[in-house]
Amino acid sequence: MKFRTGKIALASVALGAALCVPTAGSASADPTFCTSSYAGSYSSSSYCYASAPGTQFRAVVMCQFTTPTGSTDHQNWYGAWQTQGDPASSLATCGSGWGRYGKNTQTR
């Protein structure tokens, strides 16, 4: 009986560990010294300070479209490249009919 209880406990631990596998979220963290924020209902805005990695940055907005059959398509839309440390920010907007679900900043 002890052996069977031990096997059940081990199986429960293994199942619990398998269910705790991390999954990708809707957005990942902005690069160091960069910030992004939602702008309106369908856009995101990004800004990077001169100390950020690389020399340029742009906003990334993650968009979702629900088809007439109920399936969803996902696509990233990008803002214009800006020079880090300049006063300008980058703005990315989802295409017509697309909804926003995430934001991020890309550097190069």
Please, are residues 34 and 66 in contact by the beta-carbon 8 Å criterion? no
pLDDT in tens, 14-29: 434 333 333 333 456 8
The residue segments making up the domain with residue 92 are: 27-107
Judge whether 94 lies within some domain.
Answer: yes
Judge whether 3 lies within some domain.
Answer: no
Judge whether 47 lies within some domain.
Answer: yes
pTM score of the predicted model: 0.71
Q: Report the phi/psi class of residue 70: left, alpha or beta, with left for phi > 0 and alpha for psi in -120 to 50.
A: left
Count how many domains the chain has: 1
What stretches in the chain show pLDDT beneath 70? Answer: 1-28
Judge whether 13 lies within some domain.
Answer: no
pLDDT attached to residue 25: 39
